[in-house]
Structures are given as structure tokens and as C-alpha cells.
Amino acid sequence: MNNKIIRKGMFFIPGIFLLVLVFATPGIAVDNFIGEWEGAIEIPGSPLELIVEFQLEDDKLTGSMDIPAQGAYDINLIINSVDSKNIEFLLEGLPGDPAVKAEISDDGSLISGDFMQAGMTFPIELRPEGLKEVELNILALDDFADYIESIRKDWNTPGIAVGIVTDKEVLFADGFGYLDLDESQPVNSETLFGIGSTTKPFTTMILGMLVDEGKLSWDEPIRNYIDFRLDNDPISGYITVRDLVSHRSGLPRYDFTLIFNQDLTREGILENIRYMERNQDFRNSFHYGNYSYILAGLVIEEITGMSWEEAVQDRVFKPLDMNISNLSIYELKQTENFAFPYVSEDRFESLAEIDFWELGAAAPAGSINSNVDEMNNWMQVYLNNGRIGNEQLISGGSINSFFNSANNISSRGMDSYTDHYGYGLGWFISSYRGNFRVNHDGVTMGFSAGVNLIPDKNIGIVVLSNLHGSPVTQIIANEAIDRLLDLEPVQWKDDYLELLAQQPVDFTMSLFDRDKRREATLPSHALEDLTGEYNHPLYGTFSVFIDDDRLIADYHGTELEMEHWHYNVFTGHVDIAGPMEIAMEFKSDLDGEINQLDVGLDVFMTQDMIRFER
């Protein structure tokens, strides 16, 4: 059976200026009209898609109209006359006296008639919400569970959960595998997983709500909301909320500090943020990072008077019945149905359980734990143009803002069928096999997640797993899209296995170039002279000491074994969810005293070294 679904309008008629209010007028035998209708004013070459809602209030029919592309909602409809067959109404307060005169079909499936404005007349057609020309091949999901289980086994993943929705219907919600390798409890649709950076769209959703309420502007400098400035960097005064959440502010990534310094707090970061230095061009590059979302979370806290966590609970979780989802590892462990985190360092041949990792200060960038049942509710808000039931949780205009690219990304995606061309406000924007897609992946310690939306086809897919860096999230999502849209099958497992084969078995995250290592060199000072505490006002302290003739750097409880590289350069070895090499270089003052340790805090993208002073 094909599922027919209606999509919201995305176009605008120039010259219409929209006002808001709902006003009731008498009506008789109006049951046929009550409900939400979607359609278009058929302007030649540029149809205006819209949403109309009729409801009964105090025995009177009231109406409102939305034009999502313009970000205009709840336009008051003054209903002049209505009976069981015909309706006439005005759009209040607009130039040209716009009006509609229409009738409903005998089967109640179509309202059709004329839209009139400033002497011009155009056809208008509206159909009940839930009926549309987009057809999804729902039957193709009949054996999808078998496919997911085969992928889970092929990629040696302990547990997977998958959810698929349209704007009004849950097409799929199920779990596969187990919470842990002991197979103590099977995964189901209520099992909680860490969703990592898929948290970022939750943060931008709240920001969008604040924009709707007139409390925030995407394009106001963040210094207008929080005490933000960078020393000796006048450009930083122009960084806006849009710059932050689209990764174009030029702020550094430095995940190392967020992962290993559990002493960091959002308040402490804000207090010392002036010591941060941008390491990318402003508004001229895509530089993914989490500090930007910490600052965005601080903006939310300042405007709402709530913590970021309280704002998520109050503004998102509560209205969406996300009653099991939570925002910390502490809360996760209070529940009974949660997956345990795993990593693999040998191309997924063997697995190791790791400790849960509390994100703390970085919560607005990646701390949410959720399940597919509740993520399904969340995805439907986007597919419903911001609505949940009869409530407009967030405006369609804000949804459109999220999905418009604010930052160019020229690189191709992981597979040859995806072109990544931008990042919106909390979402990657891409073309997948000719279809507009918005998505976000999330990887946190021992977990991988992915959310994919095809808004024009009314598809939302979430895949959660408890294996760090696993490609199953995208393999399963791609397969689901292909099936629902009747696209030519792709052997995704084979494609990703080929990509995996190109990676070295002993991969270490490092920016060291081994071909440039200067062999047979020595440090300028004895190891004892290198010991001590090295501090940075924002990023914290490295304590360097000797243990069994080895130099060790302790960073807030995490120990890095320091291997001499050449001259005064060392590499700090640490292994969590995979081995990393951190660049570290000792420097001296004019008197020859070691007074500085420069550390490469960004193991992902740059060789920038940050000064820690003794």
C-alpha cells in the first residue's frame, strides 16, 4: 500500500503583508470544513502554497492561514458566510482586500474556488492535511528488519535502534541486538543511546523559538546577549548567533579540552573566553566545533533565565512527550533501559567496552540521551513545519532558517551519492541522489547516531547505535531512503567496506608528519627541568612529572605518556575511543629557563599550538 502524504508550502506571493489574529464568526452545519487544509493559490508559474485551519469556537467557525515560506502564521480569516457546501472569507488587514469564495466537494476531499485580490482572481485548491501527491513505497520496509539485523552483524555492532516517520505516521520503530556484549537485555525502541552532536539541532530549535518570540535575532552580535569578547580581536565583536551555529565564526575546535577537562563549566568558559583565539577566517570557512554551541547555550541561558538543560526539558522534551530522554550520564544511569558504550580499534573485528563520558560544559553540543520512539516525535515537528498536534511549537519560518545553508562546504560526502554543499543552523545540507536532505550525525564516547530528513518527500529517519564511529547509522539511513523512494538499489555494505579497507589498521589520530621527524636529536634540558605545572586561564593545567624515567603530563586526571619526538617536541599519547597523539613543545625564556609548554589541542584539523605558562 502506498502512503500518500502532504507537504507544507514553501513559496511566497510578493506584495502580501501578513498580520495575525483569530476572530470568530457565526456558522451553520460547518463540520465539513473543520480541520487543517493544505494547498495553493494557483498563480501562473508561481503557486503560493499555504495552510488553512478551521475550528469551532463557541459554536462559531474561526479560521487562520499560514504561508510558511514567508514565515507568516495565524493570519486572521474573517468568515463572512458559510454553510455545509460553501464558504466565503477575507484575509484581515491586508492590502487589496484579499478574499476567498469556495465550495467543498461532496466527498469532503477538496475545497476549490477563487482567490481575489486587487481586482485579480486566481484559482485556489485545498485538501485535507495528510493527502498529497508524494507516494512512498511503504511495502519496501516489510523486510527492513532483516536488513538491519544483517548490517548489525556485518559491522559487529552490539545494539542498534531505528525509527522512520512521516509527518503524521510512524513507519518503523524497533531495536536490534543487545544493550551490552553480555546480551543481558535486548535493545528496543525505548532503549536510550547517546546521540552526540545530534544534540546541536535541539539547541538551534530553542534559539529558533526565541527568535519567534522576538527575544533573539540570528544576526545580532552575541555580545548583545552575553559578556563575550576575545582579547586583541576586534572582529570577535561582530560574531553573531548565526555565525556560531553554522560553524563560520572562526573559533577553534579543541575538543581535547572538553573531553579531558571535567573541571570546565559554562560559566567558567564565559568568564575566561577572552583568552581564546580564533584560528580560522571569520565567515570564510567551515570549521566544525563545539565551543560555538557552548556559547549558544549560554545565550539561551541568559535570555530564558534557565539553564540550557532546563530549557531543553521545558521547551522541547515536555511538549514532545520525550519523557525518557535526558541530558547527562548521571540521569542516564538512573534509568533501566540504556545501551553501554563500545569502541573498536581493529576495523570492527573486536570490541571493548569503555566508561561513560560526561560532557559537562559541552552539553549544548552533544549531551542528549534519547531513544527512537522519542526521536520520532522530534523529527515529526520538522516534517510538520513546526507543529505538534494543534500547537505551533516553532514557526515554519524558523524551520526554513535551519534548512537554509549559511556556510558553504564543498567536499563530497562519505559516499559517491551524496554531495555536501552547506551547513544551515544546526544541520548539514546536502543533495542525496537528487533529493534535498538535511541531516546530522553524532558521535560521543562509545555511541554513534544519525538523523536524516528528506523534507520534500516527508521522510525522517533516526539510527542509534552503541559503537563509536560506526558507519551503520548512515548505511541504514541510505538504504531506508532508497527503499521508500524506489531508487535503484545500492550495495551500501560493500561500498562502506571498501572505504574501511582504505584506512590503516593501526590508525592513530595525529597531525605529526613522520617523514619530517628529526632522528637522533635530544631535548635542550634534562627531563627534570621540564617538570612542573603549566597553566592556561581558559583551558586549564598540564602537570608534568617523571614516573619510572618516563615523562608524564597529567591534564585534569588524564595522563599522557610523553614520547620524545625531536628537539624539544614531544608527543603525548592518550587512548580513549582510539589512540591520539598530542603535539607538545617546551620553550624557554632568554635566560634558558623552561617557562612554557605549547600544546596542540586540535587533533582534528590544525597544527595550532596553545601556550601554557609555567
Residues 244, 359, single domain; the answer is yes
Mean pLDDT calculated for residue range 570-575: 88
Residue 421: domain span: 136-501
497 has a pLDDT exceeding 70:
no
* Cα distance between residue 611 and residue 614, in whole Å: 10
Residues 256, 275, single domain; the answer is yes
Residues 210, 337, single domain; the answer is yes
Tell me whether residue 526 is in a domain. yes
Residues 431, 578, single domain; the answer is no
How many of the other CB atoms lie within 10 Å of CB of 531? 16
Query: What element of type H or E holds 550?
Result: strand 550-555
Alpha helix stretches (DSSP H) within 155-290: 200-212, 241-245, 255-260, 266-272
37 has a pLDDT exceeding 50:
yes
Residues 316, 437, single domain; the answer is yes
Do residues 361 and 266 lie in contact, with contact meaning Cβ atoms separated by under 8 Å? Answer: yes
Half-sphere exposure of 239 (CA within 13 A, CB side): 30
The grid coordinates listed for 209 are 523559538
* Cα distance between residue 489 and residue 492, in whole Å: 9
Please give the C-alpha separations between residue 274 and each of 96, 537, 586, in angstroms, as whole numbers. Answer: 53, 10, 24
- Report the SS3 class of residue 360: helix
- Residue 602 maps to which CATH number? 2.40.128.600
* Cα distance between residue 293 and residue 295, in whole Å: 5
DSSP 2: P
- Report the SS3 class of residue 461: strand
pLDDT score for 279: 84
Tell me whether residue 531 is in a domain. yes
Do residues 33 and 70 lie in contact, with contact meaning Cβ atoms separated by under 8 Å? Answer: no
Comparing C-alpha atoms, which of 604, 611, 20, 613 is closest to residue 288?
A: 604
pLDDT score for 501: 57
Half-sphere exposure of 238 (CA within 13 A, CB side): 8
Mean pLDDT is lowest, of 305-309, 450-454, 490-494, for 490-494
Give me the number of domains the chain comprises: 3
* Cα distance between residue 506 and residue 514, in whole Å: 15
pLDDT digits (tens, 9 = 90+) for 422-462: 999 999 999 898 899 999 999 998 999 999 999 989 999 99
Residues 153, 217, single domain; the answer is yes
Mean pLDDT is lowest, of 224-228, 337-341, 355-359, for 355-359
Residues 117, 202, single domain; the answer is no
Comparing C-alpha atoms, which of 383, 319, 315 is closest to residue 68?
A: 383
Residues in the chain: 614
Residues 291, 167, single domain; the answer is yes
Mean pLDDT calculated for residue range 374-399: 92
pLDDT score for 254: 86
Q: Which residue has the cell 469532503?
A: 108
18 has a pLDDT exceeding 50:
no
Alpha helix stretches (DSSP H) within 468-612: 472-484, 492-501, 527-530
Strands 159-165 and 134-136: unpaired
Mean pLDDT is lowest, of 346-360, 496-510, 561-575, for 496-510
- Residue 92 maps to which CATH number? 2.40.128
Give the start-end residues of each E strand in 155-298.
Answer: 159-165, 170-177, 193-194
Comparing C-alpha atoms, which of 146, 245, 43, 230 is closest to residue 479?
A: 146
Tell me whether residue 562 is in a domain. yes
Mean pLDDT, the chain, as a whole number? 87
Name residues whose C-beta falls within 8 Å of residue 251's C-beta, 6 or more positions apart in sequence. 239, 244, 276, 278, 279, 280, 287, 289, 291, 292, 295
26 has a pLDDT exceeding 90:
no
- Residue 445 maps to which CATH number? 3.40.710.10
* Cα distance between residue 402 and residue 423, in whole Å: 9
pLDDT score for 493: 78
The grid coordinates listed for 171 are 513507519
pLDDT score for 499: 67
pLDDT digits (tens, 9 = 90+) for 115-129: 999 899 999 999 877
DSSP 315: I
DSSP 575: E
Confidence of residue 9 (pLDDT cuts 50, 70, 90): very low
Mean pLDDT calculated for residue range 24-33: 54
Confidence of residue 23 (pLDDT cuts 50, 70, 90): very low
Tell me whether residue 507 is in a domain. no
* Cα distance between residue 160 and residue 142, in whole Å: 18
Residue at a domain's end among 128, 152, 180: 128
Confidence of residue 535 (pLDDT cuts 50, 70, 90): very high
Residues 217, 323, single domain; the answer is yes
Residues 332, 338, 343, 344, Cα dihedral to 10°: 180
Confidence of residue 606 (pLDDT cuts 50, 70, 90): low
Tell me whether residue 506 is in a domain. no
Interior angle at CA 512, CA 508 and CA 517, nearest 5 = 125
Mean pLDDT calculated for residue range 579-600: 92
Give the start-end residues of each E strand in 46-108.
Answer: 48-57, 60-67, 72-82, 86-91, 99-104
Mean pLDDT calculated for residue range 396-402: 89
Tell me whether residue 509 is in a domain. no
Percentage of the chain modeled with pLDDT above 70: 88
* Backbone torsions φ then ψ of 503, nearest 5 degrees: -95, 140
Alpha helix stretches (DSSP H) within 238-370: 241-245, 255-260, 266-272, 291-304, 308-312, 329-332, 363-366
Tell me whether residue 508 is in a domain. no
pLDDT digits (tens, 9 = 90+) for 69-104: 555 577 899 999 998 889 999 998 888 899 999 998
Q: Which residue has the cell 624539544?
A: 568
Do residues 108 and 128 lie in contact, with contact meaning Cβ atoms separated by under 8 Å? Answer: yes
Please give the C-alpha separations between residue 81 and each of 61, 128, 338, 529, 613, in angstroms, as whole numbers. Answer: 10, 21, 56, 90, 78
Please give the C-alpha separations between residue 191 and each of 186, 331, 363, in angstroms, as whole numbers. Answer: 9, 14, 20
* Backbone torsions φ then ψ of 128, nearest 5 degrees: -60, 140
Please give the C-alpha separations between residue 369 and each of 257, 333, 389, 397, 565, in angstroms, as whole numbers. Answer: 22, 11, 24, 28, 40
Residue at a domain's end among 501, 536, 553: 501
Residues 283, 363, single domain; the answer is yes
pLDDT digits (tens, 9 = 90+) for 165-203: 999 899 999 999 999 998 889 999 999 999 999 999 999
The grid coordinates listed for 162 are 531505528
- Report the SS3 class of residue 213: coil
pLDDT score for 1: 34
Confidence of residue 411 (pLDDT cuts 50, 70, 90): low
Residue at a domain's end among 73, 98, 128: 128
Please give the C-alpha separations between residue 285 and each of 1, 280, 301, 428, 543, in angstroms, as whole numbers. Answer: 46, 7, 28, 15, 35
Mean pLDDT calculated for residue range 320-339: 97
pLDDT score for 8: 32
Residues 375, 341, single domain; the answer is yes
pLDDT score for 508: 56
Residue type, 188: N
Mean pLDDT calculated for residue range 215-228: 96
Tell me whether residue 524 is in a domain. yes
Mean pLDDT calculated for residue range 226-244: 94
Residues 258, 342, single domain; the answer is yes
pLDDT score for 242: 96
pLDDT score for 107: 67
Mean pLDDT calculated for residue range 274-286: 88
Do residues 163 and 195 lie in contact, with contact meaning Cβ atoms separated by under 8 Å? Answer: no
